[in-house]
Amino acid sequence: MPDPDGAEDLAEFVGLLGELRAWAGMPSYRVLARRVGPLMRPARDIPLTTVADTFKAGRRRLDLGLVVAIVRALGVDGPAVARWREACVKVHGLAKVGGPVGVFGQLPTDLATFTGRREEIARLIAAATQRHDGDRANTVLISAIEGMAGVGKTQLAVHTAHRLVGAGHFTDAQLYVNLRGFEPDLAPADPSAVLEAFLRQLGVPAQQIPAGRDERAAMYRDRLRERSALILLDNAADEDQVRDLIPAGAGCLVLITSRRSLAGLDGVVPHLLDTFTDPEALDLLTRIAGHDRVAAEPEAAARVIEYCDRLPLALALTAARLRSRPAWSLAELADRMRSGRLEAISAGGRAIRPVFDASYQALPDRAQQVFRLTGLHPGPDFSAAAAAALAGITAGEATEALELLLDEHLLQQKRSGRFELHDLLRAYAGEQANSRDSDQERRAAVHRMLDHYVHTAHAAALHVERGRDPLDLTPPQPGVHPEQFADHEQALAWFSTEHAVLLSAMGHAAASGFDTHTWQLAHALATYLDRRGRWHDLAAVGTTAIDAADRLADPLGKAIAHNIVARAHLRHGNYANSRHHLHQALDLFDRIGDVSGRADTHIELARVKAWQSPPAIAEALELAHQAHALYQSCGHRLGQAQTVTAIGWALARLGDYAQALTCCRQALPVLEEFDDRERQAHAWDSIAYAHSYLGQYSQAVACYGLALDLCRDLGDRPLEADILNRFGDAHLAAHHPDAAHDAWRKALAIFTELDQPYAHQIRDKLGAVP
């Protein structure tokens, strides 16, 4: 009798109902309807079509009472009926929550253990390379690889894609996305979100990506119209999910994998994938478990293949389990399978959970703990340090456990030092955590993880922005070992790797009631996001931080969050909104008596004013003087040097170039003492600006060069573009038109990338100067 506990979704449960009917001798639907009616509560006539529909694939829900009656009518009684009922309830009640879409700019790695599929590969390659009407391709090719769960659709698609690209086809671009059409605990990927990610991969700045799905689809088709691209859409739910992800260019190939038929998709060429042949299954088992072990027991190997029903995923997991048991024989493994533990595998892909159980239970205690707690991680990937924090162990212990999990194929590693869970394994790990760890233990693990990110991000931010005042953080939980950084470069590289994870962690913190972690993560991330021109993200994290600090009634957190949102508005030219948030912050700093915070906010207000008309620049000068007085009152030497630089810039904008030079030169020694590269860059920029307007062009060019070196070290793209613009002006005034053009072209590239309105001014300069 089939085991209903193996069903992970409605499709699998309906499949098991069909197997139960076969087990009962395949009674006709007419006979079954007659048996079912009296068993209903209350008893009633049940149409034949109603019973037949219960066994059809693609059902979105089932009538629980009807299912129980059908199970009883098929000869099941006693506790077994209750198991079928519970399984039906379970597959209806699985939570559907979203996660990162997981779009990559390159194809996933081709498996070293890939085997077989010669005919299928030949058909796919032939279709991709001989798709011509006469001598000219006239339409995009869509190849849909369809088949049951675990049959190896993704591996075949990835292998074929690598073969095609390696042979010189579709070399302009390769895009990949897991659409999550059949994951038990994750909602299918939103096509609009996938389009946004694809457009980013194709070089479209985030600010230029339209909000609507139709507009995004149109831009996506336009970007690929003249390109030879391969798009791999993995695990598609239905035609609607992929329709807008198909380009219009005749030079493109779309490979789609799905458990469902996509026959309703215009122009699709279906490729139905069956299970392995016996020789292919034996080859895969041999590659993973080892040639000598398999060759020594050919009959037992044949039994293992039979019990796995030649399903590639089941074979791969079973072979990995055998490899982890060097004392086992193949005969012993086959006997265990025969006893019923892997019965669902022979039904065609329904043994995934039992195989996961076997792999998980074979792990040492430490590896089990690390595996199940990584299911609580909210980001697209994670480091050994983050896994260590989740488990409350050292990074070395975590690395050892993660390497073991990689060996057992319970983790994936697509980049060195980064670890990922497949979606099904993520769900399985989360279930294990829910069943093995209490609510308090799981919350403690998340707390440790967030402590790791807050303290590490704060340490990195102090290197990235040397003028930042450190926060008074609560000490991390026991078992948390925040990462440390030797210099600015290490810290910046960490942010570049982790910023997407930090955004996910911040969202998870806000949703889980860790509000202090929420605003502190936003504070740590803000400078990196600002310097990289990710101003939509900057506004979003600032807004989330305001809400979190508001729930805490934390005026310091709320003031800092308002400053973050103000910076985002300033970057978008929304000066009124920026001033509004800065005044909100100023009121909060006044309330708590934070003099340094008030001074910082005055400087930010001065920045807003400095970007406006001359009367506003005069106000900026006054605000900078107020900030300087506040910094003096609390003995903040670096803050005083920063404000002297701001005063110098305002004086230069107002035409007092000599005094501007005096101020900025006065600030430089203190800025250098504190290694505040950002304000040094601003100081040299202001000095160069004053030299330029004094007609001292060689000095201006030299000082702009120093400012550029500093801001490039910082990774501050907006500041680099601003300085390059003025650098070009100075070169032109010095009669160096080629150097001016070079500087302006570089500035234009950055302004265009950041979708800044100054780009048109640079184009005008380039067009006006020969």
- More confident: 705 or 166: 705
Output DSSP code: residue 475: P
Point out which residues pair with 382 in neighbouring strands.
419
- More confident: 347 or 709: 709
pLDDT at 267: 84
CATH T-level topology, domain 118-272: Rossmann fold (3.40.50)
CB 262 within 8 A of CB 239: yes
253: helix, strand or coil:
strand
- Produce one character per residue of 108-130: b if its CB has 16 or more CB atoms within 10 Å, e if not: beeeeebbbbeebbeebeebbee
- Produce one character per residue of 195-233: b if its CB has 16 or more CB atoms within 10 Å, e if not: bbbbbebbebebeebbeebeebbebbbebbeeebbbbbb
pLDDT at 359: 62
Point out which residues pair with 253 in neighbouring strands.
141, 230
* pLDDT range class, residue 490, cuts 50, 70, 90: very high
Could you tell me which CATH number the domain at 365-437 has? 1.10.10.10
Structure tokens at 543: 């807004």
Backbone angles phi, psi at 193, to 5 degrees: -65, -40
717: helix, strand or coil:
helix
Q: What is the spatial distance between Cα 688 and Cα 673, in angstroms, rounded to a whole number? A: 21
540: helix, strand or coil:
helix
- More confident: 336 or 499: 499
Tell how strand 412-415 and strand 268-272 pair up: unpaired
CB 410 within 8 A of CB 417: no
- Which has the minimum average pLDDT: 292-296, 334-338, 343-347, 490-494? 343-347
Residue 86: count of CB within 10 angstroms of its CB: 11
For domain 665-768, the CATH class is: mainly alpha
Backbone angles phi, psi at 8, to 5 degrees: -105, -10
142-178 per-position pLDDT tens digit: 888 887 556 788 889 999 998 888 888 888 888 988 8
577-617 per-position pLDDT tens digit: 999 999 999 999 999 999 999 999 999 999 888 777 677 88
CB 420 within 8 A of CB 411: yes
Tell how strand 229-234 and strand 253-258 pair up: parallel
Structure tokens at 180: 């999550």
pLDDT at 351: 37
pLDDT at 469: 85
CB 578 within 8 A of CB 608: yes
Closest CA relative to residue 276, chosen from 155, 146, 152, 161: 152
Q: Which of 96-110, 343-357, 449-463, 634-648 has the highest mean pLDDT?
A: 449-463
Q: What is the spatial distance between Cα 446 and Cα 449, in angstroms, rounded to a whole number? A: 5
Q: Which of 27-31, 206-210, 677-681 has the highest mean pLDDT?
A: 677-681
Span(s) in the chain for CATH 1.25.40.10:
665-768
Sequential DSSP letters for 121-153: HHHHHHHHHS--BTTB--S-EEEEEE--TTSSH
Instruction: Please state the rounded mean pLDDT for residues 25-29.
Output: 85
Span(s) in the chain for CATH 3.40.50.300:
118-272
Output DSSP code: residue 211: S
Structure tokens at 327: 């004392």
CB 428 within 8 A of CB 355: no
pLDDT at 514: 97
Residue with tokens 């990195």: 460
Backbone angles phi, psi at 179, to 5 degrees: -80, -5
Long-range contacts from 259-263, C-beta under 8 angstroms, 24+ separation: 259/11, 259/146, 259/147, 259/148, 259/149, 259/181, 259/182, 259/235, 260/58, 260/146, 260/181, 260/236, 261/146, 262/144, 262/146, 262/236, 262/238
CB 473 within 8 A of CB 454: yes
261: helix, strand or coil:
coil
494-523 per-position pLDDT tens digit: 999 999 999 999 999 999 999 999 999 999
Q: What is the spatial distance between Cα 342 and Cα 334, in angstroms, rounded to a whole number? A: 10
182-239 per-position pLDDT tens digit: 665 567 888 998 898 888 888 888 788 888 899 999 999 998 888 888 999 998 888 8
What is the average pLDDT score of the chain?
A: 85
Residue with tokens 């080629």: 738
pLDDT at 245: 93
Instruction: Please state the rounded mean pLDDT for residues 390-403.
Output: 92
186: helix, strand or coil:
strand
Could you tell me where the DSSP H helices lie in 308-349?
A: 312-323, 330-336
Residue 475: count of CB within 10 angstroms of its CB: 8
- Produce one character per residue of 276-298: b if its CB has 16 or more CB atoms within 10 Å, e if not: beeebbbbbbbbbbeeebbeebe
| Spatial CB neighbours of 487, under 8 Å, sequence gap ≥ 6 | 463
pTM of the model: 0.59
119-134 per-position pLDDT tens digit: 899 989 988 887 544 4
